[in-house]
Every structure is written in C-alpha cells, then in structure tokens.
Amino acid sequence: MRQSDTAFDPISAALQQLHHAVASEALPDDFLKILDEIDAKIAAASASPPP
C-alpha cells in the first residue's frame, strides 16, 4: 500500500459490498434441507448406542 491504511479503496469496498449482498440473503430451502438431513443423522447417532 502506498497510501495509509485508512485511504478509501474503492475496489475493496465494492468487493466487500458484493460479499455482504450475498451473505445477507436468506438461505434457500435446498440448504435448509441439507442441514435438516445432517441434524437427522446427528439425532439418529445420538439415539443409537455407541460402538
């Protein structure tokens, strides 16, 4: 960096804005289904006796 760290960096700002725009989206149902499947596997493993 030739300038101080506090200098405004338009490219980084735009990249961060792109990131936040996607990261703040609600999770589509497909993701929730995968997490439900994982949770079900964990629950099933909790219920079964350890090896």
Partner 1 sequence: MSELLTESPVSPATLAADKVFRDQLVALIPSLRSFARGLCGWRDMADDMVQDAMLRGWAARTSFTPGTNFRAWMFMILRNQFYTTIRKDKRMSSWDPEVAERLLVEAPAQQGAIHVADVARALQMLPAEQREVLLLIGANGASYDEAAEIIGCAVGTIKSRLARGRRALALLIDGPDGDALFDKVA
List residues near partner 1 by CB under 8 A.
1-3, 7-19, 21-25, 27-28, 30-31, 34-35, 37-39, 41-42, 44-46, 48-51
Q: Minimal CA–CA distance to 35: which of 25, 44, 27, 45?
A: 27
Nearest approach, Cβ of residue 17 and partner 1 (Å): 5
Angle at CA of residue 46, ends 40 and 49, nearest 5°: 130
Nearest approach, Cβ of residue 7 and partner 1 (Å): 7
| Stated length of the chain | 51
